[in-house]
């Protein structure tokens, strides 16, 4: 499969997940989403580019600089980005959780949020569980 076709299938599959309907109790049916519906959704929700938020640490690198992270997110909103991805590279599991809270608090439904989960398996799983708890994974 060509890279372009793979990317189209992956992206359109994610968008298609938002169009799941329930036909009967316990039975989930997916209706086919037309190309024009996908384009309409993209025009409405995807204005501008996506961005990446990296952690900002205190000068001694022992804690997050929360005001610095908030500043970065506000700046991305002012620039008109449609989404931001939280990448807490170099942060502990607790710092990752706090960074996601800060980003969510600043964004307040003004852009889409996604999360990069990396590092040790237990840390990545905890990051994904935290993101799922506040809805980042269900919006995509």
When pLDDT is cut at 50, 70 and 90, the band that residue 70 belongs to is very high
- State whether 76 and 130 are in the same domain: yes
Which residue segment(s) compose the domain that 117 sits in?
A: 46-140
**Do 74 and 135 share a structural domain?**
yes
What lies within 8 Å, CB to CB, of 80 at 6+ separation is: 47, 48
Convert the pLDDT of each residue in 13-60 to its tens digit. 444 444 444 444 555 657 788 888 888 888 877 766 788 888 889 999
Q: Both 88 and 136 in a single domain?
A: yes
For the record, the structure tokens of 33 come out as 């989403």
pTM: 0.60
Are residues 40 and 51 both part of a single domain?
no
For position 27, what pLDDT does the model report?
A: 54
């Amino acid at each position: 499969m060509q890279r372009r076709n793979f990317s189209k299938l992956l992206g359109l599959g994610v968008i298609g997940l938002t169009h799941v309907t329930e036909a009967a109790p316990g039975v989930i049916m997916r209706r086919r989403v037309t190309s024009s519906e996908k384009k309409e959704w993209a025009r409405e929700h995807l204005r501008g580019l996506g961005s990446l938020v990296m952690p900002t640490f205190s000068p001694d690198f022992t804690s997050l600089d929360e005001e610095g992270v908030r500043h970065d997110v506000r700046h991305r909103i002012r620039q008109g980005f449609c989404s931001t991805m939280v990448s807490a590279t170099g942060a502990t599991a607790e710092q990752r959780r706090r960074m996601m809270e800060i980003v969510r608090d600043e964004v307040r439904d003004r852009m889409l949020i996604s999360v990069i989960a990396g590092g040790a398996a237990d840390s990545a799983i905890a990051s994904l569980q935290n993101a799922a708890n506040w809805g980042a994974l269900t919006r995509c």
